Amino acid sequence: MSLHEPLLSIEALHVHIRTAAGIVQPVRGIDLQLEAGETLAIVGESGCGKSMTALAVMGLLPVGGSVAAGAVRLSGYRLDNLTESGWREVRGRRIGMVFQNPMSAFNPTMRIGEQIAESLVHHRHLDWDHAHRRAVALLDRMRIPDAATRAQQYPFQFSGGMLQRAMIAMALACGPELLIADEPTTALDVSVQVGLLELLRELQTETGLAILLITHDLAIVAEIAQRVAVMYAGQIVEQAPVDALFAQPAHPYTAGLLQSLPERHEGAGPLSAIAGTPPDLLQPPAGCAFYDRCPAALRLCATAAVPRVEISATQRALCWLRHPAVVGSGAVPPLAEQQGSES
Amino acid sequence: MSEPLLEITGLTRRYRLPGGSSLLAVDNVSFTLARGEVLGLVGESGSGKSTLGRMVLGLEEKSAGEVRFRGETLPRRYRRADFQRYARSMQMVFQDPYATLNPRLTIGESLAEPLRLQGWRGDPAPRVREWLERVGLAASMAGRYPHEFSGGQRQRIGIARALITEPEMLVCDEPTSALDVSVQAQVINLLADLRREMGLAMLFIAHDLAVVRYLADRVAVMKSGQLLEVAPTEQLFTAPSHPFTRHLLAVRPRPEPGRRRTD
């Protein structure tokens, strides 16, 4: 037993999904820790395994999906082998969830206030009257105007941004320690996005809530995350504090992502893009999954198991190019030069 | 020639609501688009920017006002023959190309369709192959079906399908907002290249201001159906004149983590 248990600990997690074509491996051995009060963003492109990681943490893997190896712990309490009834005590109560499409999180035939109250009755054993008053207070806290009237309305009567805030109210109703938010702002207008992010920050300061944010949007990451894990082809290829990640990316994939942002474009030429496509996770490659697309790949990257290199106390990368033996050999130019010619 | 390619005057779209009231989705909008020019059209959801694009293409009836294309006034409400007539010179690229491709047609068949509708005689296959290659796909992919392609590849197919009749103008409605950032860059580069090669004019509808800044010559800002401001791109971003534009620019999340602590 270690002295300190992180709030959330993911250890060597592997997720398999059985499909007609074979076993897909969307998550291939990831390690993550999240402390109370912290916001960690998992960022990556479609199919990289970020949502499957979130679903595994919530015990909501799709049919055919399973945790093939590794462990997920909440304050030391093992989650990955819970029964469905065990999960029901964790989900909603200790872990709140927010998804991209709030419409799918609400029952369309039930009033908003009633749906929020329901979880309080179930998890906190409040009577309905009391639970209703709490629901209205929560909606009010989420800056939903005229919350008492709104609580009596149905989901279709809410705008997208307001429904998203109602979903957060529902997720936080029972005072969870961890909020998992999967693309929570993607469907929203910019000004609504910003309001929602500010609200999350405030709640975090007040309650010490930890947030696991799943997103592909680097601007949202920059706005709210303290630490970032970059996923590619089922692995965390880089993990760093947000400032270090944006200022000095250690993995060529992170660097490529940042360079393809139109905001970072200078001059008149084409935008920088990452050529190629990610590997097929039915048959993950033996060496580096980014090998085919990497502008600086060495021959050993194709076949040798990739080392996890500590760049600093808080930043690490899954990359041969940063390995002391390779860096010492002088075979690798600095990352900035490698990226310069790529388009 | 100083005559604009597209000239929009007082364009309005009104929807009647139950109970006798009405909603002005597009309210008295006027602007012009020059040949080969890219005009970015930005605004939040419900601002009317997509409705405007659809009216220009005749996919939506015009309640009032006028759209002139190459000096010719376009019909208020399109009939079948109008689509055939104008689709040759103006085409659309949608946000979700998957929704616009018939899943039971091969990509080659889908690309040949607009040619056939334009009365193309002869074998469309060489032209289909040429366009697959122009958008960065292999000509050999013509026999495959939409589900065999990734999101970025499908958007390339959507672009090829829009451009195969070599129109003069493209209306792009959020063409990259469903794409990942590295793929988005590829598709934007493709649009920029084709624009240069073909002298294509574009009405580029998007909510992503960084993408618009990269691609557009001028930017129009819409809110609640009204056009608030039209300005050359750099001017709009560095010295916006309308308060709403200033607000949009100030609040947008930016991929710069140091920024939030200073404001």
User: pLDDT tens digits for B33-66?
Assistant: 999 999 999 998 889 999 999 999 999 999 999 9
- Which residues of chain A neighbour B233 with C-beta distances below 8 Å? none
For residues A174 and A119, the answer to whether their CB atoms sit within 8 Å is yes
Q: Which two tokens stand for residue A338?
A: 């490698």
Segments in A20-175 forming alpha helices (H): 50-57, 84-90, 112-124, 128-141, 147-151, 160-172
Is pLDDT at B98 greater than 80 in this prediction? no
Are B165 and B84 spatial neighbours (Cβ–Cβ below 8 Å)?
no
Q: Using the structure block, give the residue that is written with the tokens 């009939």.
A: B79
Given a cut of 50, whether residue B262 has pLDDT beyond it is no
State pLDDT tens for residues A291-329: 999 999 999 999 999 999 999 999 999 999 999 988 877
Give which of A92, A286, A229 is closest to A172, Cα–Cα. Answer: A92
Residues of A in contact with B50 (CB under 8 A): none
- Residue A297 is encoded by which pair of tokens? 């790949």
Inter-chain residue contact A190 with B189, CB threshold 8 Å: no
pLDDT for B181: 86
At residue B167, the pLDDT reads 95
Q: Is B81 left (phi over 0), alpha (psi -120 to 50) or beta?
A: alpha
Q: What is the reported pLDDT for B19?
A: 87
With beta carbons less than 8 A apart as the criterion, state whether A7 and A35 touch: yes
Backbone φ and ψ of A237, nearest 5°: -90, -20
Domains and CATH numbers, chain A: 8-225 (3.40.50.300), 258-265+273-342 (no CATH)
Dihedral of CA A110/A114/A120/A122: which sign? negative
Q: Residue A45: which residues within 8 A CB-CB, separation 6 or more?
A: A216, A232, A257, A278, B180, B181, B182, B183
Candidates A46, A245, A271; nearest CB to B188: A271
Residue A245: how many other CB atoms lie within 10 Å: 27
What does the pLDDT look like over B161-213, one tens digit per residue? Answer: 999 999 999 999 999 888 888 888 989 999 999 999 999 999 999 988 999 99
pLDDT of residue B249: 93
Query: Euclidean distance between the first and final Cα of chain B, in Å?
Result: 48
Nearest chain A residue to B206 by CA distance is A189
pLDDT tens, N- to C-terminus, chain A (343 residues): 456 889 999 999 999 999 998 999 999 999 999 999 999 999 998 889 999 999 999 999 999 999 999 999 999 999 999 999 999 889 989 999 998 888 888 999 999 999 999 999 988 899 999 999 999 999 998 889 999 999 999 999 998 888 989 999 999 999 999 999 998 887 788 878 888 888 899 989 989 999 999 999 999 999 999 999 999 999 999 999 999 999 999 999 999 999 999 999 888 889 998 988 889 899 999 999 999 999 999 999 999 999 999 999 999 999 999 999 888 777 665 554 444 444 3
Cβ atoms within 10 Å of B81's Cβ, excluding its own: 9
Residue whose token pair is 């979903």: A167
Count of beta carbons in the 10 Å neighbourhood of residue B2 = 4
What's the pLDDT at A343?
A: 36
Contact indicator for A49, A26 with CB cutoff of 8 Å: yes
Whether B256 sits inside 8 A of A222 (CB atoms) is yes
Q: Which residue in chain A is spatially nearest to B251 when comparing CA positions?
A: A191
Res A179: pLDDT: 96
Nearest-Cα distance to chain A for B185, in Å, is: 5
Please state the ipTM of this predicted complex. Answer: 0.84
| A197 contacts B44? CB cut-off 8 A | no
Out of B247, B248, B255, whose CB is closest to A222? B255
